[in-house]
Structure 1
Amino acid sequence: MIGHAPLCVCDLNRIRIPVVGDEGYNMLVEIPKMTKAKMEVATKEENNPIAQDIKKGNLRDYHGPIFWNYGCLPQTWEDPNEEHPELKVFGDDDPIDVVEIGSKSLAMGSVTTVKPLGVLAMIDDGELDWKVLAVATDDPLAEEYNDIDDVPDAVKDGVREWFRWYKTPDDKPLNGFGFDEKYLNAEQAEEVIAETHESWKKLKSGDSDAGKLWLA
């Protein structure tokens, strides 16, 4: 359940994702690095506010801080009615997630241009939940990182293991990952982004069932 006191109203359906190129993609920041509050876009509430999760009447925090900036790409959608042909799981009904690994803490609700470096196919509760690994284009690390092999193994492993384990303190099972738990490269990440953007366009046009999602 999402909290009823939104901290930021973002309307993620109206933030434009630029075409592929040097400009990069627009990341909407939900959780700044080194914070614990479990914030997320409320996709079923009017204007898609960013708000803190509530469980049993209590605001939810992670059991430890997240070490990277976390957010999503507006105008993308992981279709819960579309089965991935290789992984044989369906989308999680959310925008595609982004883990930004740059050196700065990004403000919640800010929109930052990022460069995709790779992507993980996380399987969460039987649903496909892509995690795009990216770096802000204005971060110094953007000059060093252009593809997944440029990213230190310690960073890649840290991201994967954080998302594998983060639900276990709540007695939830470990999350798994497709493609032998390996990252796909930057080109494949952009293909995944393009596919989820096409799914979003079908959602907006009415060709896909929106269910309870709020669309402007």
Structure 2
Amino acid sequence: MDLSKPQYSLRRVGHPFTKDYQVYFERNADKIAVSPFHDIPLYHDEARNVFNMVVEVPRWTNAKFEISRGKSMNPITQDTLDGNPRFTRSCFPYKGYIWNYGALPQTWEDPHYTDPDTDAKGDNDPIDACEIGRAIAKTGDVKQVKILGVLGLLDEGETDWKLIVIDVTDPLADKLHDISDVEKHLPGLLDATRDWFRIYMVPNGYPPNDYALEGKFMDKAYALKVVKECSEAWRRLVHGKVEKGGISLHNTTLSGTPGKLDPKDVGLPADENLSPAPVPQELEEWFYVDRERLEDDKKLVHGDDSLCITLDLA
């Protein structure tokens, strides 16, 4: 299992932190364009349960980058909120995202399927992953990770699983085998993760999120079952067995699928690697969330931000 050489290169178009920014993927072995949603394999080493993870948001950053469902070849783009590039606010004591955040390729949380354990339909995205190793990744990195557990978030009424994973090359990887090991070696991280996902949209005027399974982190065996279900859902999607909605199924490696393109016909733009655009002033603010009021105010109307006090650090 050679992890020393990256398997993929990036083609970055436009300025980061703008709606025009796009990050495309090219496979180094044969220089063909690939979709990070459909072409990058789910497994790096299936026999050892080593998975590929596409990093979207590096730790301690705020820009909400994500694999685009709708664009051909599914480049990473910046999500939007109210028509503007989306940035996640820093809720004290957290600065941006507290892990390397991304997704497992070749998975899909089916919006047509109601999970019996969450009583909610899937959120229509690849399954999310929080990589807890010490190294800070970059947007577009493809990491090899092992799965430790999963948290069942209910985001606006949709099932939105959050896997807890670690890079297999991390110094702690040999000590972390299941979710109980995370609390043992990284005390406080799971509680912080639960808290972060609960409050991260409160500064935007949304109520706190809820959890399935009473907010309990489920173990590795349960998490692997969830990943298998999401992989099977993706397989139905990419083979045209379910309604695709606005999802682009374009790929260059999956023979027999309706979205298969000839790699020769997929021309990627040159890598521009431009400087980032200026970021909003509010990224220099801490948002202090009144957690004691959260339970009483779960039915807040969108737009009521009275649960937050802001402090400008600029």
Q: Same fold (TM over 0.5)?
A: yes
CA apart distance, 1:207 = 1.0
CA apart distance, 1:61 = 1.2
1:97-112 mapped onto 2 (5 Å cutoff) = 97-112=128-143
1:11-160 mapped onto 2 (5 Å cutoff) = 11=35, 12-18=37-43, 20-22=46-48, 24-64=50-90, 65-152=96-183, 153-160=187-194
Q: What CA distance in whole angstroms lies between the structure 1 residues aligned with 2:159 and 2:18?
A: 25
- Say which SS state the counterpart of residue 225 (structure 2) adopts: helix
Contact 1:147 1:186 in 2 (8 A): yes
Residue identity (%) = 38
Contact 1:147 1:185 in 2 (8 A): yes
CA apart distance, 1:58 = 2.8
Aligned-residue CA RMSD in angstroms? 1.5
Q: What CA distance in whole angstroms lies between the structure 2 residues aligned with 1:206 and 1:94?
A: 16
**TM-score using structure 2 length:** 0.66
**TM-score using structure 1 length:** 0.95
Q: Which whole-Å deviations, capped at 9, do the CAs of 1:60-111 have from their partners, x for residues lacking one?
A: 2111211110000010000000011232110000000000000001111011
Bigger shift: 141-150 or 49-58? 49-58
Q: Which amino acid aligns with 1:106?
A: A
What's 1:209 paired with? Answer: 243
Contact 2:109 2:122 in 1 (8 A): yes
Q: What CA distance in whole angstroms lies between the structure 2 residues aligned with 1:205 and 1:53?
A: 27
Larger CA Rg, structure 1 vs 2? 2
Aligned residues: 215
Contact 2:103 2:126 in 1 (8 A): yes
Q: Which whole-Å deviations, capped at 9, do the CAs of 1:188-211 have from their partners, x for residues lacking one?
A: 111100100000000011111111
Contact 1:81 1:91 in 2 (8 A): yes
Matched, 1:164 2:198: yes
Contact 1:6 1:49 in 2 (8 A): no
Q: Where in structure 2 are there 5+ consecutive unaligned residues? A: 1-16, 26-34, 91-95, 251-314
Q: Which amino acid aligns with 1:135?
A: I
Q: What CA distance in whole angstroms lies between the structure 1 residues aligned with 2:213 and 2:193?
A: 16
CA apart distance, 1:3 = 5.7
Q: Where in structure 1 are there 5+ consecutive unaligned residues? A: none
Contact 1:23 1:113 in 2 (8 A): no
